[in-house]
């Protein structure tokens, strides 16, 4: 009986280590590119690997609910994400919030090939400030997530918040630098 318990603990520790390794690689990717699209692409690939999905789509809607970024695990690496102006597709916001993909014709372009099933809706906060919402979709129906998978997705949400803040700071820095260079060169 004691051997069985030790074996179970060993297996749990093995899974813990693998999850920490995956989360660590995702955190390290934030500093590599400082690009939200590449981060979301890596996140989708990680979800496919860890949850046994064929395809995963990440849709990040900003806190003002004006803009979305959409990346799927089968996009080409380095390919820009689909930036979607929510105002151009009024039923998009309702569709995401209701957790259904609308059959409206206006969804054809931005949601062409989007993964069908809702995996998880994760509000993204950084220092108690809402940055937006991350919608994760899969092409494989998962009736329910295990407690461990739920915890893993919450950790991914926290890492996503860091990636978003880093991308915002990087963009602001580049814009500030460009403005200063323009003043100096004129």
Q: Which domain holds residue 165?
A: 19-180
- The CATH code of the domain that includes 51 is 3.30.450.40
Q: What is the reported pLDDT for 80?
A: 58
CA distances from 139 to 43, 88, 97, 121, 145 (A): 16, 26, 19, 15, 15
Q: CA 169, CA 87: separation in Å to the nearest integer? A: 25
Q: What is the reported pLDDT for 101?
A: 55
Average pLDDT for 150-155 = 87
Q: What is the reported pLDDT for 79?
A: 61
Q: What is the reported pLDDT for 84?
A: 79
Residue 130 Cα to chain centre, angstroms: 15
Q: What is the reported pLDDT for 174?
A: 78
| pLDDT of 186 higher than 80 | no
Q: Using pLDDT thresholds of 50, 70 and 90, give the confidence band for residue 107.
A: very low
pTM: 0.73
Residue 1 within a domain: no
Residue 95 within a domain: yes
Kindly give the residue spans of alpha helices, DSSP state H, lying in the chain. Answer: 2-33, 36-51, 90-98, 147-185
Q: Which residue has the tokens 């997705």?
A: 153
Average pLDDT for 150-161 = 88
Of 68-72, 75-79, 90-94, 99-103, least confident by mean pLDDT is 99-103
Residue 7 within a domain: no
Residue 186 within a domain: no
Q: Which SS3 state, helix, strand or coil, does residue 129 take?
A: strand
Residue 176 within a domain: yes
Residue 12 within a domain: no
Q: What is the reported pLDDT for 104?
A: 47
**How many distinct structural domains can be found in the chain?**
1
């Amino acid at each position: 009986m004691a051997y069985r318990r030790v074996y179970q603990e060993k297996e749990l520790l093995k899974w813990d280590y693998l999850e920490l390794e995956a989360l660590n690689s995702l955190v390290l990717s934030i500093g590599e590119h400082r690009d939200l699209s590449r981060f979301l692409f890596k996140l989708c690939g990680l979800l496919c690997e860890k949850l046994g999905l064929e395809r995963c789509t990440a849709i990040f809607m900003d806190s003002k609910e004006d803009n979305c970024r959409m990346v799927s695990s089968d996009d080409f690496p380095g390919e820009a994400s689909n930036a979607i102006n929510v105002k151009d597709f009024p039923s998009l916001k309702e569709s995401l919030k209701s957790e259904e993909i609308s059959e409206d014709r206006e969804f054809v372009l931005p949601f062409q090939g989007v993964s069908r099933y809702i995996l998880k809706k994760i509000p993204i906060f950084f220092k108690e400030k809402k940055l937006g919402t991350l919608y994760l979709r899969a092409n494989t129906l998962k009736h329910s997530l295990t407690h461990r998978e739920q915890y893993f997705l919450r950790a991914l949400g926290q890492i996503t918040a860091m990636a978003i803040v880093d991308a915002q700071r990087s963009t602001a820095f580049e814009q500030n630098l460009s403005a200063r260079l323009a003043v100096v060169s004129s």
